[in-house]
């Protein structure tokens, strides 16, 4: 994706959540957000923030590691939250129907998104989490400059 890039530092879960919330407020129908980072790096905290930014209750959001995809409605847009941690190969990933979700008019947020085929990631907002120890994180975001939310990050 050609676009804007920004690196921010989060010193606690609340800051990671707030960045997710700002992201959720800016997302449009058909947006794909790819989250990358090791276990415990903050992906699900960020995802809860995105949900709240879309108007979905934080208490509804959990990591979809075992269900693979959670669908949340009730906000300004539906949120499809997928987790590819347990999947291997394009066949298993393709069976999730990510492309169908993108065409359903909601937002698709994918944890372990580096496992998505390249053609799907091309237009995605990519968020990379790096654990710096304690609760600190380096979060690198690449997004379409028209989204505008990076300026406030």
The string of pLDDT tens digits covering residues 13-34 is 999 999 999 999 999 999 999 9
Crossing angle between the packed helical segments 13-26 and 43-53, to the nearest 10 degrees: 40
In a domain, 39, yes or no: yes
CA 64 to each of CA 12, 120, 135, 140: distance values in angstroms, whole numbers, following the listed order: 22, 20, 22, 23
In a domain, 150, yes or no: no
In a domain, 151, yes or no: no
The boundaries of the domain holding residue 67 are: 4-141
Distance CA 99, CA 26 (A): 21
CATH number of the structural domain spanning residue 64: 3.40.50.300
In a domain, 146, yes or no: no
Inter-residue contact 112 to 84 (CB < 8 Å): yes
Question: What is residue 100's predicted lDDT score, i.e. its pLDDT?
Answer: 85
In a domain, 68, yes or no: yes
In a domain, 147, yes or no: no
Question: What is residue 1's predicted lDDT score, i.e. its pLDDT?
Answer: 46
In a domain, 87, yes or no: yes
Tokens 């799907």 belong to 120
In a domain, 148, yes or no: no
Q: Quote the pTM value.
A: 0.85
Number of domains composing the chain:
1
């Amino acid at each position: 994706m050609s676009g804007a890039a920004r690196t921010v530092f989060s010193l606690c879960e609340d800051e990671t959540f707030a960045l997710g919330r700002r992201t959720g407020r800016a997302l449009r129908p058909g947006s794909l957000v790819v989250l990358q980072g090791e276990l415990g790096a903050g992906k699900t905290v960020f995802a809860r923030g995105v949900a709240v930014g879309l108007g979905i209750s934080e208490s509804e959001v959990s990591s979809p590691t075992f269900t693979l995809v959670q669908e949340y409605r009730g906000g300004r847009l539906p949120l499809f939250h997928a987790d590819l941690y347990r999947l291997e190969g394009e066949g298993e990933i393709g069976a999730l129907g990510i492309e169908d979700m993108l065409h359903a008019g909601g937002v698709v947020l994918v944890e372990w998104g580096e496992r998505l085929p390249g053609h799907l990631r091309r237009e995605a907002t990519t968020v990379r989490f790096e654990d710096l120890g304690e609760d600190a994180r380096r979060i690198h975001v690449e997004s379409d400059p028209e989204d505008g939310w990076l300026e406030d990050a």
